[in-house]
A and B are shown apart, each in its own frame.
Chain A
């Protein structure tokens, strides 16, 4: 053993591997400081009283003794279960229609279902008010007393979570093996039995995965419940009320810990399922060519049209309402609602702050994520640090935005923290947003790096070319499409997120998505809708630019992809 150590230690006299060690260490340090330390600080806070003295589980006992607060746990779970059930059922049929039927217009349907990804989660909630609210145009259709409450939250969340569920399920359905279907057919198996014995098992893991992802997304959501929840409290809004309404930070920390638990459990299960999925499909599988079947296809087309109709209705309603002068008394169209400087929430300045914040997040976030993922995937040094890095990179997925935001207050606003200078600046918003959306970006980068030959680094070393030259000349160009994907993902999410940044902006750094919430709080629902629409449009423009740029760049620099 000592021999091993000495040989390993004697090695490493070259500057290159020191540079690599340095970058990996910095990556670990970054995630420790920007993710783990704030969360641990919050844990400690939940065990302290207002004066900062340790009081054990006293806060938790107080919390569980208060039925008004514990009711939120049940409420959150109810909402999450209902939304998960509705979203996963609809997305399952929709994904089946897109991948396994001979239905026409698949591309259009797919495009429409992407739209909710570009809207802040507040937008469907505002739409619900115009559709089913007290003066809503479809109020009479609503089977319950009021849209303000669980029904509104579930519908709004369903709209927002649908594309996420659809994405995972489409991937699951795409992993088909035509040979199995041919074998089943040759044995004269009836279609329902083929579905039960071939189709369902092949998407089993994807389905379980979707259920957990949607459950996590909806139990942690803040925006929808904030706008349309009314008197119906959920955990995420409780945190906000405790902190902003009552300045009770300790109780905020306690609720955060309570909210963190189901999210962490659901996340752990999901990771476990994911690990098993990989071995399911062999490389020799023959992809299934969907067959036409007039009756089934017609029914599925109708179904998809209804779903897309609903999505378009929700978006259309928000867009339409944003141009109405004064709902419902003056229905003339005007741009009055877009004069944000007359309203709460920071006006146009907050929109430009959002743009700036999103741009920084996209640039810095992409660079950090890609570099860390590269070191993690391609450099074989420091196995322990890299395993820690991998674990930390997966963690943000399980941390609700509002919990992360509160954790940042505790950590960065602490007077003894040398980094407390960034509190209240643009920097903390960017840092927080990068960390909040870290996991998906990390997975995207890792997946694309895994597809690149592992021997490139070895070949470069044998040719005496330093690794950073190969990173610049070979690896980065090869991974360029996914780098662009990461940057636009970060931009869009930074534009639309509310939950994490709601605690962190200052009067100089108000954000548009937070402004939507504040305008809604102040009763200016139409301007709130206008801002939400503006955010959605900006995200769509960013996505459009991304598409054009990547198309251009790929054409010019990726000539080698053509055979």
Chain B
């Protein structure tokens, strides 16, 4: 076996439940000490992937290597990990201390040392005085922290978190995010967290694995995922994004609804696709003057609705009746300066680096042979996105 710097390596993992494909040829490498989030909508396979790493589900094909040991077929007992579930799965008839010490009893650790360790863990999670309470007497956030302490008690090399925060209310969730991150950094433990909450993934992870229908849609740092979503799916799922169906007229010319626009970037060779940009990347102008069309996309739209969102104002603008309305986020002061009224026409300018174009996928899949001289579609999208 070749030695590598990767702590966990997953190679060509495949798993299906009946006719449903949960994992479709998943390959992935995770570095030691890294915090990785599996992000995706429900049913995308993220939990199945986590459970396969834990040995709770058995893959049909593929290999899992953890710190140079092939664990593909080992039962969970023989793997090295700690796990926290969404339901906490704390034993309700045991006290907090007994819960945390549950795995230690098996390690033949002397009693005194065990108590010491439980005490240290309770301090680590900032709940030093709750050792004698039962889980039922704790709040949801406290229970989750106890579950974390229990998972860490046996000092595993890998921490698995299965939607650990989604059963908590918003305020506690924000607080626990920071706490888990801080603890993870302090211990330097390689951590994988499954979540469907993009904010959670963006704020906590070193790297995010976005999953869709049992496949990996994109792997990257939070910045990469947010700024350069590789596919339309990722763009849709992470953050808010204006996505407009478009017909390609030429290398730099698009048909948006019934309007033709000139694009600053060179479009890939295809017939149809989706143009995307984030609401905060738009600059609003009174007129088309002074904008370089080689660097910016420029078009006119009618202001339909104004929504006050607190820190910013969201404008709903109509480019064409056939298209979904365009969202534009502007800061509150800027909106006051703009002094726009409903029904008024404004010009929208979006810089080239913030524009994404995704060629329609069905074309790519149904006729793979007719891709002309164009490079691979996915690659094209990446290039367009400014990669």
Contact = CB atoms under 8 A, between A and B. Distances in A.
A477 B54 contact: no
Interface stretch (A3-11, A343-351, A429-437): A3-11
Interface in A4-36: 4, 7-8, 10-12, 14, 16-17
Interface stretch (A211-219, A288-296, A299-307, A553-561): A553-561
Interface string A465-506: 110010001100110000000000000000000000000000
User: Considering the complex of A and B, which 7 residue pairs feature the smallest CB-CB distances, nearest first?
Assistant: A463-B103, A461-B76, A455-B89, A560-B134, A10-B73, A474-B91, A455-B85
A4 B60 contact: yes
Contacts of A286: none
A459 interface: yes
Contacts of A464: 77, 103, 106-107, 154
A11 B75 contact: yes
B377 interface: no
A458 B154 CA distance: 15
Nearest to A561: B136
Contact of A461 (B73, B75, B92, B136): B75
Interface of A: 3-4, 7-8, 10-12, 14, 16-17, 453, 455-456, 458-466, 469, 473-474, 477-478, 557-563
Contacts of A14: 75, 77-78
Contact of A458 (B56, B95, B102, B153): B56
* Interface secondary structure of A, over-half rule: helix
A478 B56 contact: no
B320 to A, nearest CB: 42
A453 B150 CA distance: 16
Given A462-B82, A464-B77, A559 B134 contact: yes
* Interface secondary structure of B, over-half rule: loop
B145 to A, nearest CB: 15
Nearest to B72: A7
30 contacts: A3-B60, A7-B59, A7-B72, A7-B73, A12-B75, A17-B75, A453-B87, A455-B89, A456-B89, A458-B56, A459-B83, A459-B85, A459-B89, A459-B150, A460-B102, A462-B76, A462-B79, A462-B82, A462-B151, A463-B102, A463-B103, A463-B150, A463-B153, A463-B154, A464-B106, A464-B107, A465-B103, A560-B93, A562-B136, A563-B137
A434 to B, nearest CB: 28
B87 A473 contact: no
Of the listed residues B77, B81, B82, B105, the one surrounded by the most CB atoms of chain A closer than 10 A to its CB is B77
Contacts of A560: 92-95, 134-136
A563 B136 contact: yes
B137 A477 contact: no
Given A17-B75, A462-B82, A464-B106, A558 B60 contact: no
A7 B78 CA distance: 16
B61 interface: yes
Contacts of B81: 462
A3 B61 contact: yes
A482 to B, nearest CB: 14
Nearest to B153: A463
